[in-house]
Amino acid sequence: MNHFIFTVSFLVSALFLYAYGKSSSRIIGGEVARAGQFRFAATIHVQTSDSKFFCGGALTGNQWIITSGYWVYNAELFTVQLGSNTLEGDDPNRVTVATSTYYLHPDFNPDTLENDIAVIELRLPVTLNEYIQPIFIASYDHVNNIPATSLGFGQISDSDPELSNDLRYIATTTLTNEECRLYYGSQITDNMICASGNYNEGTCIGDTGGPLVITEGGRHVMIFGVASFISGNGCESTDPSGYTRIYQYGEWIYNITGYYG
């Protein structure tokens, strides 16, 4: 039996169960990141006309944040945090900026999460330093059955609705789309990719929009997925997490940002 995607139709019933209004997608079973370990990681507080919620993102260039399309849909204001591995508390490396400009993929479908990608434009370029650096965008698409890393500030269990105050990360392995369709059926398209951790490690509430990355040559880090959906069976199930396959959108991102990575 296919394990239906935790997507818009299922989210409606859970819309106000969490502190940030909309629920998003966890780092279950993750390790706490070191300062400066993921210098591209961004957190995004989103304000719409009637709610507030939270998602992740990744810095590309010095003025752009790549994130999920669904979580910027109808947004009016973004508060973006860069440079810090904590959501709250004193951190001299934290940079917080506000903006209202975003570019949602024109073919985004909120019902199927097809083309679930967006780019947020910061009002001014941020200063790059040892804690804030952009990530490279994947330049190839041969990423089946390879090691990857997922990260975010999302819930660490289904039973606890609080976000993690610490940035957490997990080691995962990407699946072929054929393997992923064994869980989700024909809902998985060529514009998506799935990844699975050890046992039940994966993304959860608060992690959607965050990056799935690979490290090439030991230090060249590239983003090749944007956290998009989880299984309707919950964060702690052993079902794989789903991502937007970013290679498919390289030209679209370049046309907006002028930046490939």
pLDDT computed for residue 157 by the predictor? 61
pLDDT computed for residue 130 by the predictor? 96
Q: How far apart are CA 51 and CA 155, in angstroms?
A: 19
Do 39-134+249-257 and 136-248 share a fold? yes
- Tell me which of 2.40.10.10, 1.20.59.10, 3.40.50.1000, 3.30.230.70 is the CATH number of domain 136-248: 2.40.10.10
pLDDT computed for residue 190 by the predictor? 95
Q: How far apart are CA 82 and CA 182, in angstroms?
A: 37
Provide the whole-model pTM.
0.87
H/E element, 194: strand 192-197
- CB 221, CB 14: distance < 8 Å: no
Q: How far apart are CA 236 and CA 252, in angstroms?
A: 34
Q: How many CB atoms lie within 10 A of CB 68?
A: 29
- CB 208, CB 227: distance < 8 Å: yes
Q: Per CATH, is 39-134+249-257 categorized as 3.40.309.10?
A: no
Domain boundaries, the chain: 39-134+249-257, 136-248
- CB 179, CB 149: distance < 8 Å: no
pLDDT computed for residue 26 by the predictor? 44
Q: What would the pLDDT profile of 169-221 be if each residue is shown by its tens digit?
A: 989 999 999 999 999 999 999 999 999 887 767 787 788 999 999 988 767 89
User: Quick one: which of 88, 56, 159, 119 has its CA closest to 250?
Assistant: 119
Can you list the residues of the chain whose pLDDT is less than 70? 1-29, 157-161, 200, 218, 234-236, 261
pLDDT computed for residue 4 by the predictor? 42
Q: How far apart are CA 241 and CA 108, in angstroms?
A: 19
pLDDT computed for residue 193 by the predictor? 95
Count Cα neighbours of 118 within 13 Å in the Cβ-side half-sphere: 28
Q: Tell me how many degrees the CA angle 76-74-108 measures, rounded to the nearest 5.
A: 140
Q: Which residues contact 227 (CB under 8 A, 6 or more apart)?
A: 25, 56, 68, 150, 152, 203, 207, 208, 209, 210, 211, 212, 241, 242, 243
